[in-house]
Amino acid sequence: DVKVTQSSRYLVKRTGEKVFLECVQDMDHENMFWYRQDPGLGLRLIYFSYDVKMKEKGDIPEGYSVSREKKERFSLILESASTNQTSMYLCASGSSGTGYQPQHFGDGTRLSIL
């Protein structure tokens, strides 16, 4: 089975801190994604990556950056955390070029910024 592992289930940080959320997948997928999930807003795409060292902005990239130095790992970085970044963060991965394959999700990191 495909496994997408997010490094923390729960995280509490302070305003202004630099925060790293890590995601690792074990299926050699080319594509990786970071979403944010908020009540009433559903899932919104922050950043995605189609290849190592490649990144593209999603719908809400402001205040975030990403890093993909290895194929299996995709990191989300909050450069200077703010309270409005308190949310559930979901990582996903998927293969490309195979046609209509689903994305596979991690269990999420619930991040609180105090």
Partner 1 sequence: GDSVTQMEGPVTLSEEAFLTINCTYTATGYPSLFWYVQYPGEGLQLLLKATKADDKGSNKGFEATYRKETTSFHLEKGSVQVSDSAVYFCALSERGGSEKLVFGKGTKLTVNP
User: Per CB under 8 A, which of residues 58..97 are in contact with partner 1?
Assistant: 58, 90, 92, 94-97
- 83: alpha, beta or left? (left if phi > 0; alpha if psi -120 to 50): alpha
100 binds partner 1 (CB under 8 A): yes
Q: Which of 7, 8, 11, 43 binds partner 1 (CB under 8 A)?
A: 43
Q: Which of 25, 31, 49, 75 binds partner 1 (CB under 8 A)?
A: 31
Which tokens belong to 14?
A: 């302070």
- Cα angle: 78, vertex 111, 34; to 5 degrees: 60
Q: Which of 34, 48, 64, 74 binds partner 1 (CB under 8 A)?
A: 48
Number of residues that bind partner 1 (CB under 8 A): 30
Question: Which residue ranges make up the site for partner 1 (CB under 8 A)?
Answer: 4, 29-31, 33, 40-45, 48, 58, 90, 92, 94-108
